[in-house]
Structure 1
Amino acid sequence: MSIEIRIAALPDAEAACTVLCRSIRECCELDHQNDPAILDAWLGNKTPQMVANWFSSPTNFSLVAVSEGAVVGVALLTGAGKLALCYLLPEARGKGIGKALLKRMEEQACAWGVKALQLHSTATGKAFFAHCGYIDAGLVRSPYGVETVFFWKQLDDDATCPNAPKRKKFCNCNSD
């Protein structure tokens, strides 16, 4: 399966919306437990028009993963350094697509000068983000009624941001 990671365009909004909705419904059962109220709240803003608005916002950076001409993944980074979306179709999981999207988002954050990336993960995504080097900073309740895990990752190191400007180390010692 060949995968293309590219900047999301407005015509991708409907397919990206499908990715979001299917991923939440089919992959995040551990989180929503098929509770209609939680699902309605979580999916309430997952419309093609809303996704198009997110894609067109000048403060967001959005990517899609495309396989055989179909959108199979979507990710969105805000200018404040928050990974707001990182979702895959159920059948696209476990193939390195999520890692590829996340790596590209980290590169973009580095290019923007973001020092640390943050995100709220579902219980379903917790192991993935931990495996990718994100630090679990505790539980936070989402607006749609699900406990999420607040994760963060320092980005301004050589491994994550090889082209980041090098900072001078501060030494508080006397060199008399």
Structure 2
Amino acid sequence: MKIQVRTAKESDAIAACNVIRSSILRCCAEDHRNDAKLLEGWLHNKTPEFVLRCILDPTAYSVVASMDEEIVGFGSALDTGEVTLCYVAPSMIFKGVGKALLTALEEHAALAGVDALHLDSTRTARAFYLRNGFMAEVPPVQAFGMEGQPMRKELLGRG
């Protein structure tokens, strides 16, 4: 099975939303600690309408990863280089889907002349981003009852 990454389409919003929500629920317990209030805060805007807005946002680039025509990942980054979303279906963790999403976002940003990507990583995703060349910018911050780690990856020489 080969991972395919392409630009997200409007018709991908529901499947991409399902990936995001299941990833948060099943993979991010280290962050939300199964606390109903934290989960509600994290999931309240993770709707198909929200994902559709990301896909249609002219200041963003959104991609989906699929295997056998099933969407198994979703990523989105703003023109500023801010990675706003990068989620993988729980069954596809550690199978290269996240790396494929991130690579597509990096390549698009480099071609657009962006010098670096930046994001706020969850505890769950921190090791993934470190493995993929991101570095912590400052100490972790608290947001919405959870820890976030501001991170950055230089893209100079790409594209």
TM-score surpassing 0.5? Answer: yes
Match runs of 1:6-155 below 5 Å: 6-137=6-137, 138-142=139-143, 144-155=144-155
1:145 offset after TM fit, Å? 2.2
Cα distance in structure 1, aligned partners of 2:106 and 2:119: 12
Note the residue ranges of structure 1 that are not aligned, 5 or more in a row: 164-176
Give the fraction of aligned pairs with identical amino acids, expressed as a percent: 41
Cα distance in structure 1, aligned partners of 2:132 and 2:61: 20
Cα distance in structure 2, aligned partners of 1:20 and 1:5: 16
TM value normalised by structure 1 = 0.87
How many residues are matched?
158
4+ runs of 1 displaced by more than 4 Å?
Answer: none
Q: Which amino acid counterpart does residue 139 of structure 1 have in structure 2?
A: P
Cα distance in structure 2, aligned partners of 1:141 and 1:108: 30
Cα distance in structure 2, aligned partners of 1:52 and 1:145: 27
Give 3-state SS (helix, strand or coil) of 2:114's partner: coil
Higher helix share: 2
TM value normalised by structure 2 = 0.96
